[in-house]
Amino acid sequence: MRLAWLTDIHLNFLSPQELDVVIPALRRREADVYLVTGDIGEADSLSDYLERLAQEFDKPVYYVLGNHDYYRGSIESVREKMLQLSLRLPALCFLTQAGIQKLTDSTCLIGHDGWPDGRFGDFENSQVLLNDFLLIRDFRRPSSNLNRLDPEVKYYWLSVMQRLADESARSIDRLLKHALAEYPKVLVATHVPPFREASLFNGKISHDHFQPFFASRVMGEILLSHADANPNAAITVYCGHTHGAGEFSPMPNLRVVVGGAEYGRPEVQRLIEI
């Protein structure tokens, strides 16, 4: 079986004319299934893009969502839309809501969106302000009287990031436990790199002021604990978000692959033989 993996395709950065050329070009005749690890579009365009991908690829499309996919919406409303979409188009499988997906007798696929959790790097002194905080409803300031630069607002945003990151890590924890009981090889799809060493910018580990927003420490800790408890199993993580391609193996049986991406130039990262 062959899986074609894409990430951070950000289709909303392309004109309708460009989409007519780019979407067919993403199809791989050798692929049996597709995996997209988030940042596909934005809340109002996401369903249309996914539908087009499913039609064009004409194969099962597994996906998780990235932060951009929730822009101009809320976590709950976008996930509800994805639920409706999966009911209408069964070829689309939103891993965040689905359980363990069997790919072959020895390999399965699980996933959850994932979120940076502010626990790597130097959150306290970082001046980084993500669009997430302004464009996703869940990050709306607790009081509109508070200025964006007020530390209280910054720590409120951190608490929302951590709630989302922890939810994803808990879900992967549950899924991995069951997946590893049945399969020797587990592929994990998530949007955000789970280790500092996998969060790269221009080929180097991201600066300490960016790490809080470009890696999920809680997810990394869950992955390490399962890899440690299952030395004969192989866990491979596919993610994106940083747009900086790289690989990192913290343990012999745990490998993280991060996709590179450029806005306006979506591509297939890899064809993976399973």
Q: Which stretch binds Fe ion (CB under 5 A): 63-71, 195-203, 204-212, 264-272?
A: 63-71
Q: What are the DSSP calls for 120-168, one per residue?
A: SS-TTT-----THHHHBGGG--S-TTS-TTSHHHHHHHHHHHHHHHHHH
Residue 206 DSSP symbol: P
Positions in 65-104 near Fe ion (CB under 5 A): 66-67
Rounded to the nearest whole angstrom, what is the least distance from the CB of residue 254 to Fe ion in the complex?
Answer: 22
Instruction: Map residues 182-211 to x or -, x wherever contact with Fe ion holds by CB under 5 A.
Output: ------------------------------
| Interface pick for Fe ion out of 3, 5, 6, 8 (rule CB under 5 A) | 8
Where would I find the H helices in 58-100?
75-88
Positions in 98-157 near Fe ion (CB under 5 A): none
| Binding-residue total with Fe ion (CB under 5 A) | 5
Contact 66, 40 (CB under 8 A): yes
* Cα–Cα dist 147/154, whole Å: 10
Rounded to the nearest whole angstrom, what is the least distance from the CB of residue 268 to Fe ion in the complex?
Answer: 16
CA distances for 240 relative to 28, 108, 127, angstroms: 20, 20, 23
Interior angle at CA 234, CA 233 and CA 235, nearest 5: 120
Q: Is 39 in the site for Fe ion (CB under 5 A)?
A: yes
Q: Which stretch binds Fe ion (CB under 5 A): 20-28, 34-42, 132-140, 164-172?
A: 34-42
For Fe ion, give the closer residue by CB, 66 or 118.
Answer: 66
Contact 5, 37 (CB under 8 A): yes
Q: Which stretch binds Fe ion (CB under 5 A): 1-9, 43-51, 75-83, 244-252?
A: 1-9
| Interface pick for Fe ion out of 241, 254, 256, 257 (rule CB under 5 A) | 241
What residues line the site for Fe ion (CB under 5 A)? Answer: 8, 39, 66-67, 241
